[in-house]
Amino acid sequence: MASTQHQQSSTKQEILEYLLKHVQATALELATALKISPQAVRRHLKDLDAEKLILYSSSVQAGMGRPQHVYQLSSEGKNYLNWVASPQNSGDGYGQFAVSLLDTIAQTVGKDQVSTILKKQWERKAEEYRKSLGNAPLSKRVATLVELRKAEGYMAEYHPIETNGVTLGDNGKNNNSGNIKSDSKKSESTKPESTKPGKKKSQTKLSDRFMIVEHNCAISNVAESFPSVCGHELEMFAAALPDCTVERTHWMINGGEHRCGYLVQAKQK
């Protein structure tokens, strides 16, 4: 596609990634998030629109000012970001070939056999992950797992979760700005312990819980035609982290979802 002939400027790239993570935004929201002027944002948006990487929908009224457009990624924009994340898979050729091959296998040996083949593939991948993760602390293994997923074309990130359910960034600051939430029903607040005379007050401790978020799907073509691959992917994460439970919190295949999310928590000993 034409948009993959050259990489976008860093600012345009940030605009596209912001729209991927937040679904839609106005020029003012983008300017605030990227800490640049609205005029500069609008120039970049004009270029991205010309390249068919974004769409804009009905305007919204911003106070007494002029109406604003609401921008979002086009399918071309999403394909472009997938290409950037995994340049070796540029274009849809590999994805279409994979789907066609699996269709042929399904017609030849049946869908149950395809599911078995996919399960074997994810078991193999889980073993590769497990060897790469080693026996490091959970926080280190999660960080390494996310880096491995990035190398495979997933726009992945992770966030530690405090015992009271607050999602934190790597620097320990509240990082709920991206609307990434843990299951509040399962996350109970921890009351501060009473401090006895002569004892130091215990410090707040992060629990062994992490949210892994993937903002794109490197195998979206396959997942759309064979949704069972996502179930095997969930099993793969659990097998790669055998001392943890892994729960899917978001799923792109579901209508309205724009990311896949996994809650990782250490098993109780």
Average pLDDT over residues 218-225: 82
Per-residue burial over 88-118, b if 16 or more Cβ lie within 10 Å, else e, is ebeeeebbeeebeebeeebeeeeeeebbeeb
Which has the closest alpha carbon to 23: 92, 70, 88?
A: 70
Q: Where are the alpha helices (DSSP H) in the chain?
A: 10-22, 27-34, 38-50, 75-85, 93-109, 111-133, 138-151, 220-225, 228-240
Q: Which residues contact 148 (CB under 8 A, 6 or more apart)?
A: 129, 132
Give pLDDT tens digits for 9-58.
789 999 999 999 898 999 999 999 999 999 999 999 999 999 999 999 87
Average pLDDT, whole number, for the chain?
A: 79
163/126: higher pLDDT: 126
> How do beta strands 68-73 and 54-60 pair?
antiparallel
Q: In the predicted model, is pLDDT for residue 226 greater than 50? A: yes
- What pLDDT score does 220 carry? 80
Which has the closest alpha carbon to 77: 51, 46, 45?
A: 51
| CATH class of the region 2-89 | mainly alpha
Give pLDDT tens digits for 50-66.
999 999 987 766 566 66
Residue 254 CB-half CA count within 13 A: 10
What residue segments make up the domains of the chain, in order of their start? 2-89, 115-180+203-266
The pLDDT-based confidence of 74 (bands split at 50, 70, 90) is very high
Residue 76 CB-half CA count within 13 A: 12
The end-to-end CA distance of the chain, in Å, is 52
- Interhelix angle 111-133/228-240, nearest 10 degrees: 30
CA–CA separation, 155 vs 90, rounded Å? 15
Which of 56-70, 124-138, 248-262: highest mean pLDDT?
124-138
Check: CB of residue 183 under 8 Å from CB of residue 245. Answer: no
242/8: higher pLDDT: 242
Which has the closest alpha carbon to 131: 118, 121, 143, 141?
A: 141
Report if pTM > 0.85: no
CA–CA separation, 102 vs 115, rounded Å? 10
Q: In the predicted model, is pLDDT for residue 191 greater than 70? A: no
Average pLDDT over residues 129-139: 95
Give pLDDT tens digits for 147-164.
999 988 899 999 998 755
- What pLDDT score does 263 carry? 96
Give the Cα-Cα-Cα angle 62, 63, 69 (nearest 5 degrees): 15
Average pLDDT over residues 122-145: 95
Check: CB of residue 262 under 8 Å from CB of residue 246. Answer: yes
Check: CB of residue 80 under 8 Å from CB of residue 1. Answer: yes
Q: In the predicted model, is pLDDT for residue 198 greater than 70? A: no
Q: What is the percent of the chain where pLDDT is above 70?
A: 73
C-alpha 50, offset from chain centre: 27
- What pLDDT score does 62 carry? 59
Helix (H, G, I), strand (E, B) or coil at 118: helix
